[in-house]
Amino acid sequence: MARPDARVLAARVEQLRAILARDADDATAWFGLGRALFELDRPEEAVEPLRRAIALDPDYTAAQRDLGRSLLESGAAREAADVLREALEIAQRTGDLQTGREVEVFLQRARQALGEERPVQKPARPARAAHIGPVDPEASAAARRIYKSGFEHFIAGRCDEAVALYERALEIDPGLAIAWNGLSLAQRQRGDLDAGIRAAQRLIELEPDDPLSHTNLSILYVKKGMIPEAEEERALAMQLQLRAQRGA
């Protein structure tokens, strides 16, 4: 997963330790310290700060979640499962639905590590597209006309018709990125998340530097419950956006 630069994280750790030296009752600072240590791939060190955050604020669902993650990464799957079950109860009681969904993903991983649950099958990433040669200009124009018809169906809420037309356009011109984007959005709208993910992945094969493509895939991963993958795509989108801003 894409993370902030290690030097930035190390500086953040020192800043947070300085804050906590002045005020050891700051639950948010303890959480931030634990999170930064986790992102530095030091999950064993992250455990104690996260415990301190929870001791100060027992309903701190994000700290409960990250404590479970840190324990899991440290090899303490049984304790991680116990912490994550408690975190899920707190998230449900407090109405923190987003954190609750993330906790469910990590709880599932803890159960898998304990042999209590089979791994979830991830949607297969399509094979990397071979180089797509130029398409005849007339064929390309025809593919774009079909795409436009599909888009009209999509904005009218007729997603099944839109999908069929996008797929037809892509049969003619497999390199038509806008059609892969439309197909991904239409599949997401109709609830076929696996198909939407495959289309979004293909779009990224064609346009790897487009932040919106990574954002779209991140949204699909969230809906699928694949939170770490969603975080990775969101981070990539932010990096590409910053790069584009610097180059402007």
In a domain, 45, yes or no: yes
Task: Quote the pLDDT of residue 196.
Answer: 93
Cβ burial of 218 (10 Å; 0-12, 13-18, 19+) is: buried
Domain span including residue 84: 6-113
In a domain, 130, yes or no: no
In a domain, 124, yes or no: no
Task: Quote the pLDDT of residue 2.
Answer: 38
Closest by CA to 99, choosing from 65, 68, 72, 59, is 65
Per residue in 40-59, pLDDT tens? 999 999 999 999 999 999 99
In a domain, 233, yes or no: yes
CA distances, 61 to each of 75, 97, 118 (Å) = 21, 10, 26
Same domain for 88 and 11: yes
How far is Cα 16 from Cα 187, in angstroms, rounded to an integer? 44
- Domain count along the chain: 2
Same domain for 148 and 63: no
Task: Quote the pLDDT of residue 173.
Answer: 92
Same domain for 169 and 82: no
* 228, amino acid identity: P
In a domain, 118, yes or no: no
Q: Measure the CA angle with vertex 166, ends 164 and 172; round to 5°.
A: 105
Same domain for 174 and 230: yes
Per residue in 105-144, pLDDT tens? 888 888 888 887 554 444 555 544 444 555 678 888 999 9
Residues of the chain predicted below pLDDT 50? 1-3, 119-122, 127-131
CA distances, 165 to each of 146, 159, 161, 223 (Å) = 6, 10, 6, 25
